[in-house]
Chain A
Amino acid sequence: MRIRTAGVVALFALALAASGCGGDSDEPAAKESPKAAGGKLVIWADDKRTAALKPFAEKFGQENGVTVEVQAVPNEDLQNNFVTVSSQGGGPDAVIGAHDWIGNLVQNGAIDPVQLPDEQKAAFNETAVKAVTFNGQLYGVPYAQENLALIRNTDLAPEAPKTIEDLVATGKQLKAQKKVTETLCLQVGQKGDAYHIYPLYASAGGYLFGTTANGDYDPKDLGVGKPESIAAFKKIAALGEKGEGVLKRSIADTNSTATFTGKKCAFLVSGPWAIADVKKAGITYDVSAVPGFAGGKAAAPFVGVQSFYVAAKGKNKALAQEFVANYVTRPELAVALYQADPRPPALTAALDQVKGSDPDLAKFVEAGKNGQVLPAIPAMAAIWDPFGKAEAAVIGGADPTSTVTAAGKTIAGSIK
Chain B
Amino acid sequence: MSAPLSGPGPAQQVPGRGPVRTGSPRTSRTARNHAPITAAGLAAKVILLGLVAGIAIWAAFPLVEAEKWVGLVVLALTTAALFYLYLGRRHVPAKYLVPGTLFLIAFQIVPVLYTASTAFTNFGDGHRGSKDDAIVAIQSSSVKQVPGSAQYPLSVATKGDPATGALVFLITDPETGAVSVGDSEGLRPLDPGAATIAPGGKVTAADGYTVLNFGQASARSKDITDLVVPTAGGALRSSGLSRAYEGKAVRAYDRGCDCVKDSDSGKTWTADSALGAFVSADGERLAQGWKVNVGLSNFTRVLTDERISGPFLGTLIWNFAFAIGSTGGTFILGMLIALALHSPRMRGTNLYRMLLILPYAMPSFAMLLVWRDMFNTDFGLINNLFGLSVDWFGQDWSARAAVILVQLWLGYPYMFLVATGALQAIPRELTEASSVDGASPWQSFKAVTLPLLLVALSPLLISSFAFNFNNFNAIYLTTEGAPFPADNSSNGATDLLITYTYRLAFGGQAAQFGFAAAISLFIFAIVAVVSAISFRRTRQQEEVYA
Q: Beyond A250-B376, A324-B240: 11 further Cβ-contacts under 8 Å?
A: A14-B50, A16-B54, A38-B219, A39-B219, A103-B287, A191-B484, A321-B240, A325-B240, A386-B489, A393-B484, A396-B394
A378 touches B126 (CB 8 A): yes
**Nearest A-chain residue to B372, judged by Cβ:** A254
Query: Is B35 in the interface zone, CB < 8 Å from A?
Result: no
Q: Which of A24, A317, A382 lies in contact with B221, CB distance below 8 A?
A: A317
Q: Kindly identify, within residues 31 to 47 of chain B, every residue whose CB is under 8 Å from any CB belonging to chain A.
A: 37, 42, 45-47
How far apart are the CA atoms of A398 and B486 in the complex, in Å?
Answer: 6
Assuming the contacts A115-B151, A326-B240, asked whether A9 and B140 have C-beta atoms less than 8 A apart, the reply is: no
Interface residues of A (CB under 8 A from B): 2, 5-6, 9-10, 12-18, 20-21, 24, 35-39, 41, 63-66, 80, 83, 87, 103-104, 106-109, 112-115, 117, 135-137, 182, 190-191, 248-252, 254-255, 259, 312, 315-319, 321-326, 378-379, 381-382, 385-386, 389-390, 392-394, 396, 398-399, 402-403, 405-407, 410, 413-416
Assuming the contacts A108-B126, A115-B245, A398-B486, asked whether A250 and B509 have C-beta atoms less than 8 A apart, the reply is: no
A106 touches B141 (CB 8 A): yes
How far apart are the CA atoms of A229 and B282 in the complex, in Å?
Answer: 29
Q: How large is the interface on B (under 10, 10 to 19, 20 to 34, 35 or more residues)?
A: 35 or more
Assuming the contacts A83-B125, A254-B373, A317-B225, asked whether A406 and B243 have C-beta atoms less than 8 A apart, the reply is: no
Q: Mark B84-100, 1 if CB is under 8 A from A, else 0.
A: 00011100000000000
Assuming the contacts A10-B87, A389-B489, A406-B486, asked whether A109 and B508 have C-beta atoms less than 8 A apart, the reply is: no
B509 touches A415 (CB 8 A): yes
Which of A5, A83, A393, A410 is the most central at the interface, judged by chain B CB atoms within 10 Å of its CB?
A393
A190 touches B482 (CB 8 A): yes
B217 touches A318 (CB 8 A): yes
- State the Cβ distance, B280 to closest chain A Cβ, in Å: 13
Query: Is B242 in the interface zone, CB < 8 Å from A?
Result: yes
B394 touches A37 (CB 8 A): no
A17 touches B54 (CB 8 A): yes
Return chain B residues, CB-CB under 8 Å to A415.
509
- Listed A/B pairs (21) with beta-carbon separation below 8 Å: A6-B87, A13-B52, A14-B50, A16-B50, A36-B215, A37-B216, A38-B219, A65-B214, A107-B126, A117-B245, A190-B483, A191-B482, A249-B391, A249-B394, A254-B369, A259-B379, A318-B218, A322-B214, A325-B240, A382-B508, A399-B486
Query: Is B191 in the interface zone, CB < 8 Å from A?
Result: no
- State the Cβ distance, B332 to closest chain A Cβ, in Å: 30
How far apart are the CA atoms of A65 and B212 in the complex, in Å?
Answer: 12
- State the Cβ distance, A113 to closest chain B Cβ, in Å: 6
- State the Cβ distance, B134 to closest chain A Cβ, in Å: 7
How far apart are the CA atoms of A385 and B484 in the complex, in Å?
Answer: 11
Interface residues of B (CB under 8 A from A): 37, 42, 45-47, 49-54, 56-58, 83, 87-89, 125-126, 128-129, 133-134, 136-137, 140-145, 150-151, 162-163, 213-219, 221-222, 224-225, 237-243, 245, 247, 285, 287-289, 307, 369, 373, 376-380, 391, 393-394, 479-490, 503, 507-511
Return chain A residues, CB-CB under 8 Å to B133.
87, 109
A64 touches B215 (CB 8 A): yes
**Nearest A-chain residue to B48, judged by Cβ:** A13
Q: Which of A20, A83, A259 lies in contact with B128, CB distance below 8 A?
A: A83
B53 touches A17 (CB 8 A): yes
How far apart are the CA atoms of A15 and B394 in the complex, in Å?
Answer: 65
**Nearest A-chain residue to B483, judged by Cβ:** A190
Q: Which of B54, B373, B489 lies in contact with A21, CB distance below 8 A?
A: B54
- State the Cβ distance, B517 to closest chain A Cβ, in Å: 15
How far apart are the CA atoms of A402 and B488 in the complex, in Å?
Answer: 10
B238 touches A321 (CB 8 A): yes
B218 touches A406 (CB 8 A): no
How far apart are the CA atoms of A190 and B88 in the complex, in Å?
Answer: 64
- State the Cβ distance, B279 to closest chain A Cβ, in Å: 11
B486 touches A402 (CB 8 A): yes
A107 touches B287 (CB 8 A): yes
Return chain B residues, CB-CB under 8 Å to A385.
489, 503, 507-508
How far apart are the CA atoms of A103 and B510 in the complex, in Å?
Answer: 11
B287 touches A115 (CB 8 A): no
**Nearest A-chain residue to B284, judged by Cβ:** A220
How far apart are the CA atoms of A37 and B218 in the complex, in Å?
Answer: 9
How far apart are the CA atoms of A63 and B215 in the complex, in Å?
Answer: 10
Return chain B residues, CB-CB under 8 Å to A17.
50-54, 56-57
Return chain B residues, CB-CB under 8 Å to A393.
484-486
A190 touches B218 (CB 8 A): no
- State the Cβ distance, B473 to closest chain A Cβ, in Å: 16
B218 touches A316 (CB 8 A): yes
How far apart are the CA atoms of A385 and B504 in the complex, in Å?
Answer: 11
How far apart are the CA atoms of A10 and B224 in the complex, in Å?
Answer: 47
